[in-house]
Amino acid sequence: MSSLTWWLEVGLRIVVVFLGFMVIPLVVGQMEHKAMAHMQGRLGPMEAGGFHGWAQLVADGVKFAQKEAVVPAAADRRVFQAAPAVALIPYLLALIVIPIGPGTQVGVDLDLGLFFALAVMGIAVLGPLMAGWSSANKYSLLGALRSAAQLMAYELPMLLSAVSVAMAAGTLSLPGILGAWHWYWIPWQLVGGFVFFTAGLAELQRPPFDMPVADSEIIFGAYTEYTGLRFALFLLAEYAGIVVLCLLTTVLFLGGWHGPVADQQLGWLWTAIKTFALAFVVIWLRVSYPRLRADQLQKFAWTVLIPLALFQLALTGVVKVL
C-alpha cells in the first residue's frame, strides 16, 4: 500500500469517527427526549423539523451558539474557559479505539485499546472539577467536590471489571477481545458487566448517580455559572459519554459485533442495536430511580461494587486456568 492510500484511509477513518461523535450523541439525546416524554405520558418535542420534532437538538444547538458567553468576574478565567474542552475531547479520543464491526472496522487497533479508553475517560472527569473550582461559586465548588468523590469511588470497580475481560481474552486490544469472544462469556462475565455499567453511569453523573448536578440542591453543580456554547459543550460531553460507555459495555460484555446471524456482514448493525438498547436503559433509569445520597453512593461503591468486581476477577481467573 502506498503512502497516499494509507493517508486516505486514515483520513476516512478519522472523519467517520468524528461524524459519529457529532451525530450519535444527538440521536441519544433525541431518544431521551422522546422516551422520557412517553414514559411520563407526554409527547416531547413535536414542532422542530416537522416529523416528531426530530430537529429539536439542532435548534437547541443554534440557540446555544447565539448566546452570550458570560465569564463571572470572580472566576479563574482561563481554567473556566478551557474546562468544557477537557470534558469533551477525551470521549472523542475514546471512540477511535472501539471496534464497530469485524476485521478492520475500528478507528485504530491499539495494543492497549482497553487501557487507553479507560485512561482518557478518567481525564474527562477533570472537566467538571476544573469548571467547579474555577467558577468561584459555592454551588459549583460543592458540585465539583461531589464529582471528585464520585469518581474516586467508581473508578476502581470499573477498572477491576474491565481487567476481568482482559484476563478472559488475554489481550488489551478491543478488536482482539472480540476476536476471542464466545457466547458463554455473557453469563461468565455477567457480574463484571453489571459492575462496569453501573460504575460507568456514576462516572458520567447520570441518574440515579446525579448527586453532583442535583438541581434541587446545588442548581447545576459545577456547571452553574456556564452559559451559551460552553454549557452546550458540557451537555454534548455527557451524551458522548453515554455513547462511549454503552459502546464499551457492548464490546466488553455483550460481544460487540457478534450476533446470532450474519455477524460477518452486519456486525456494525449488531453493535448499534446493543449500544442503543443500553442507551435506552440509561434513559429508563433516569426516569425510574430516585437520586442516591452522598453517603449511600459511597457505600454502594465500596461495599457492593468493589467486592462484586473482586469476585468476578477470582471467577474469571479460576475458569480460565482450570
Partner 1 sequence: MSHTTYYSAYSIVGILFLLGILFVVFALTANRLLSPFRPTREKLLTYESGVDPVGEGWAHTHVRYYVYAYLYVIFAVDSVYLFPWATIFAAPGFRGTTLAEMFVFIGFLAVGILYAYKKGVLTWLEQ
Residue of 93, 96, 101, 151 lying closest to 126 (CA atoms): 151
Measured CA to CA in angstroms, residue 13 lies from 8, 10, 54, 107, 110 at distances of 9, 5, 27, 6, 14
CB of 317 to partner 1, least distance (A): 5
Verify binding: residue 233, partner 1, rule CB under 8 A. yes
CB of 149 to partner 1, least distance (A): 4
CB of 202 to partner 1, least distance (A): 13
State the DSSP code for 43: -
Verify binding: residue 237, partner 1, rule CB under 8 A. no
Interface of this chain with partner 1, residues 12 to 31, rule: CB under 8 A = 13-14, 17-18
Verify binding: residue 317, partner 1, rule CB under 8 A. yes
CB of 53 to partner 1, least distance (A): 23
Q: Is the CB of 282 or the CB of 312 nearer to partner 1? A: 312
Measured CA to CA in angstroms, residue 199 lies from 88, 127, 142, 157, 306 at distances of 19, 18, 21, 7, 10
DSSP 253-295: HS-TT--SS-TTTSHHHHHHHHHHHHHHHHHHHHHH-PPPPHH
CB of 151 to partner 1, least distance (A): 9
Q: Pull the grid cell for residue 177.
A: 477481545
Interface of this chain with partner 1, residues 155 to 194, rule: CB under 8 A = 155-156, 159-160, 163, 166-167, 170-172
Q: Pull the grid cell for residue 155.
A: 473508578
CB of 288 to partner 1, least distance (A): 25
Q: Is the CB of 28 or the CB of 306 nearer to partner 1? A: 306
Verify binding: residue 5, partner 1, rule CB under 8 A. no
Residue of 73, 210, 212, 200 lying closest to 141 (CA atoms): 212
Q: 206 near 287, Cβ under 8 Å?
A: no
Cα(56)–Cα(4) distance, integer angstroms:
40
Interface of this chain with partner 1, residues 56 to 115, rule: CB under 8 A = 64-75, 84-85, 88-89, 92-93, 96, 104, 107-111, 114-115
Verify binding: residue 264, partner 1, rule CB under 8 A. no
CB of 315 to partner 1, least distance (A): 11
Q: What is the CA radius of gyration of the chain?
A: 20
Q: Is the CB of 288 or the CB of 303 nearer to partner 1? A: 303
